[in-house]
Amino acid sequence: MTGTERLQAAETFIRSGDCACPFARSVSTHPLELSTAPRFDRKKILRPMRAFSPTQGLSPAHVLLAVSSEEPGEHRQTKEWAVEAFLVLNLVAAIVSYPDHDVAILEQAVYGKTRDVLLDRTSPRRPHIVLGRMPLITVCMSPVYPPKHPRYSPCTMLVSTWHMDISLAQTPQVTAAIRARCEAEHGRQYDADELMLDLPEFANLARRG
């Protein structure tokens, strides 16, 4: 697929409602394309990030889709891409949020601290992208997962939604349905704040302990 076709496929999939997002069918999407080296995509992220920044609480809900220009590879390579994509999105969000701050200082904070937390599998902390002092929930969706898995997508991408919008949409019934589906397809308690989940077979091994 071309870059344009990948963006269209990502938007179509999200709006199909065939994912764990409780309001996917009616979202307003903000798509952008990231290369296989996301750290160098900072300039082209600025405009979509600025457009996304005032959308918290709007109806329909708004979602930022950062789609990889090509598939990174297997699970390990996809996670590496996801980490780099998360970091550059986090940096651009900080630049948009604090336009008077020194970019070099912001970059040092993001790449010097957040990367270590993302790569530490034993840490209970889950870094969030913060835009205008408000947190986003950001997850990686990808074809490395089985088609019925809650993180499956036909194209690898990071999906960012406002934490407040998710909280407002998650009624007890919706939350219970999502957890049941995730438990069935993933094999353990679903961590909605985890950027990149293990493949189901490894999650099942961890559950059996």
**pLDDT tens for residues 18-67?**
766 655 667 899 999 999 999 999 999 999 999 999 999 998 889 999 99
Q: Which comes out higher in pLDDT, residue 44 or 184?
A: 44
- What's 138's DSSP letter? E
For 14, the enclosing helix (H) or strand (E) is helix 3-16
pLDDT for 73 beyond 90: yes
**Number of H-type helices and E-type strands within the chain:** 8, 5
Of residues 166, 15, 61, 85, the one with CA closest to residue 7: 15
Of residues 124, 19, 109, 121, the one with CA closest to residue 79: 121
> pLDDT tens digit string along 81-94?
999 999 999 999 99
Look at residue 204 in the predicted model and tell me its pLDDT: 42
The number of residues making up the chain comes to 209
How confident is the prediction for the chain on average, in pLDDT? 85
Q: Are 132 and 124 in contact (CB under 8 A)?
A: no
Q: Are 50 and 96 in contact (CB under 8 A)?
A: yes
Domain boundaries of the chain, sorted by first residue: 3-208
Look at residue 203 in the predicted model and tell me its pLDDT: 46
Q: Calculate the alpha carbon distances from 102 to 46, 89, 91, 106, 186 in Å.
A: 16, 17, 12, 7, 42
Tell me the mean pLDDT in the region 134-152: 91
